[in-house]
Structure 1
């Protein structure tokens, strides 16, 4: 959501900012709807004032015995009541139109985000570990170790997974290890709803624009696409004290995505699923804390990859590849030697006050007057399924077994190797 006062004051600057995201004349629809609303409100206020004056004048006319004038004023008040009711309905409709147009606009990119139409303009800013090329892709390995895609298809259809035995245990170990690592990094563990009401998704930016990518229930609740939704909305309609900030939260949850906009992409294996698990990181900060908090969150996600010994690179996303709610995003891409590619495993975004405006989340500055919008940040720390894929490909042996990274062994009862099932 955007500051309409700032948009009115500098529509050209607003349009220049969103042109960097490929949107020309982005302010026009909002300003047109806003002008209509303000015109309705101005006329409504005039009618309300005139009704009050006329109502007062009726009593004065009756007091002096001027019944004709009193009757004329009563007729005018009756007509004004009808007009006011119509104007109030029009104002409600116009307010909804302004909101609809404003909610459709993405966040403004930060000044240091590279311009570009798509991922080809992303900028590599760091690389860690030796990226070797060897072995099988994860789907071939996983089928030997307990992945049963046929069973998943029978139960739920495409893009769901059934894992068994040691592979299921490794998946569980990864989630628990990541969650423990993020708690150790200073994030407070939370357990949050998987089903939320629509305003929660509006608050973080998934609705209304991306409704087709979500799963909706029959009672008008929505399955979360990420724990970012539940965690960030913990400050919805709240006024915090500056001393409380920053707030840092983490949660390990199932996530659900319809992937309506990803037809034909990553259909093989475990990369892109309708249901998956992820450890999410969320921070709520003052504007002044946000940049340092962004770097802190990136470091927390990278620490998991480094502890597991998984080579990766950090990418600063271009304006054309950033998510809707982000003003600046770093992607961490893990190396998959079987596939011979880097693959996104974490996306870590600074959303500025964009989500806070949609949620009406504020803080009261220490020693200051009034309130300000908080800034929100979120990232994966990490996606469990994709980390499982990376472990399989990076630690495979020629016989089809997979060496378990040392940090995971305590979660695996001391097991050091996964071997193909008989």
Structure 2
């Protein structure tokens, strides 16, 4: 949710920020709705105050035996009592209309975010590692994986496209990756491990920004709950409707969960292989911090995700996303893209975003700034640390050998029960 006071103060700058995302100007409409809401609230308050004043005056008139005045006041009170519910409903309707417009709008990009409409406008800011060289033509994971236990046919037979069945050492590798990532984030990077609900209510996905605009990207159960698209939803909502007692240090949370996405906007993209699934696992990172700590915390989260890639010796690059390619809730986003030899390209493996107070306003998550009266909205950040399936793909493609086997990275060997190489069946 956006700060209405900032829109009132400078609607032109607000519209300019939205224009960077390709959103039409809406500042004037918001100010109009805001004025209607405030006028309705004023009318309701004035009517209530007059009813209370007239009610008190009735007793005074009766004490003076002024029956005519008392009767006139009683008639006025009766009219106000009849009219007041309609005035209050008008106020509620105006407020709901304003909230509906604000709730559908994306966050305003930070000033240092580059302009652009799609991924072509993203800017590479760092690169790590050297892509491996092969004395054979490297395969894509979709061709390499089936002989190693990546069973696309069985997954599709029982669930349809974008579902995969993992067997034997391949399943062990997936589990090893998730456990290694969790251990790295908790022991080396200061995140607290959590086990979170996978089913949440409307207000939770509203709080993190998936509702109302992106409902088609989610799966909904028959009892009205939503399957989480990422543990960001559950972790961030853990401070929902709270005044956080102490935010002198950021709250850092992590969880390894299944994630569920309809991929409604991805028709025709990555239909082969394990890159884009309806169900996948991910280690999510979430931070809740003070406004003044957001830049340092964003850097910490980026380094936390990069540390996993470096420990696995997977070459990657860091991209600063342009305004038109960021998610709706973000003010600034860095994508980490891992090198995939089979595709001969870098592909996204983590997206790490600073959301400002956008989500906190929707969740009403506050803290008490030291030395100040009142409360302030917290800032939230989220990112992948990492997506397990995409990391598995990167391990397969970067570690592949000419005979179809795959060498396990050294960092994963303690988790693999003695397996050092995946051998084709």
Shorter-chain TM range is over 0.9
2:247/2:290 contact within 8 Å kept: no
* Structure 2 residue 334 is matched with structure 1 residue 330: yes
Once the two structures are superposed, what CA deviation does each residue of 1:18-55 show, in whole Å capped at 9, x if it has no partner?
A: 11111231323322221211111111112112212221
Q: CA deviation at 1:80?
A: 1.1
Q: Counterpart of 1:380?
A: 384
Q: Counterpart of 2:267?
A: 263
1:61/1:69 contact within 8 Å kept: yes
CA distance in 2, matches of 1:414, 1:282: 33
Indicate which of 160, 170, 175 corresponds to 1:172.
175
Q: Counterpart of 2:37?
A: 37
RMSD of aligned alpha carbons: 1.3
CA distance in 1, matches of 2:406, 2:85: 71
Indicate which of 140, 145, 153 corresponds to 1:142.
145
CA distance in 2, matches of 1:313, 1:360: 36
Indicate which of 149, 154, 158 corresponds to 1:151.
154
CA distance in 2, matches of 1:295, 1:244: 18
CA distance in 2, matches of 1:326, 1:192: 23
1:301/1:381 contact within 8 Å kept: yes
State the number of aligned residues. 421
Relative to structure 2, which stretch is displaced further, 57-66 or 394-403? 57-66
2:247/2:367 contact within 8 Å kept: no
Q: CA deviation at 1:244?
A: 4.7
CA distance in 2, matches of 1:176, 1:233: 24
Indicate which of 204, 214, 219 corresponds to 1:200.
204
* Structure 2 residue 220 is matched with structure 1 residue 222: no
Q: Counterpart of 1:347?
A: 351
Q: CA deviation at 1:57?
A: 2.3
CA distance in 1, matches of 2:248, 2:234: 19
CA distance in 2, matches of 1:35, 1:367: 34
1:245/1:284 contact within 8 Å kept: no
Q: Counterpart of 1:81?
A: 81
CA distance in 2, matches of 1:78, 1:226: 54
Once the two structures are superposed, what CA deviation does each residue of 1:248-278 show, in whole Å capped at 9, x if it has no partner?
A: 1111110011111221111111111110000
2:248/2:290 contact within 8 Å kept: no
CA distance in 2, matches of 1:398, 1:52: 87
CA distance in 2, matches of 1:122, 1:39: 44
CA distance in 1, matches of 2:29, 2:235: 32
Indicate which of 386, 398, 411 corresponds to 1:407.
411
CA distance in 2, matches of 1:128, 1:157: 37
1:241/1:365 contact within 8 Å kept: no
Q: CA deviation at 1:132?
A: 4.3
TM-score calculated relative to the size of structure 1: 0.97
CA distance in 2, matches of 1:174, 1:28: 50
Once the two structures are superposed, what CA deviation does each residue of 1:286-306 show, in whole Å capped at 9, x if it has no partner?
A: 111110111111111111101
Within 5 Å, give how 1:200-349 maps onto structure 2: 200-242=204-246, 244-349=248-353
1:241/1:366 contact within 8 Å kept: no
* Structure 2 residue 163 is matched with structure 1 residue 160: yes
Relative to structure 2, which stretch is displaced further, 144-153 or 209-218? 144-153
Matched residue SS, 1:288: helix
Structure 1: give runs of 5+ residues left out of the alignment: none
Matched residue SS, 2:177: helix
CA distance in 2, matches of 1:353, 1:372: 9
2:261/2:279 contact within 8 Å kept: yes
Indicate which of 158, 182, 186 corresponds to 1:183.
186
Relative to structure 2, which stretch is displaced further, 281-290 or 17-26? 17-26
Matched residue SS, 1:74: helix
Q: CA deviation at 1:191?
A: 0.9
Once the two structures are superposed, what CA deviation does each residue of 1:169-208 show, in whole Å capped at 9, x if it has no partner?
A: 1111111111111112211111111111111111111111
Q: CA deviation at 1:64?
A: 2.6
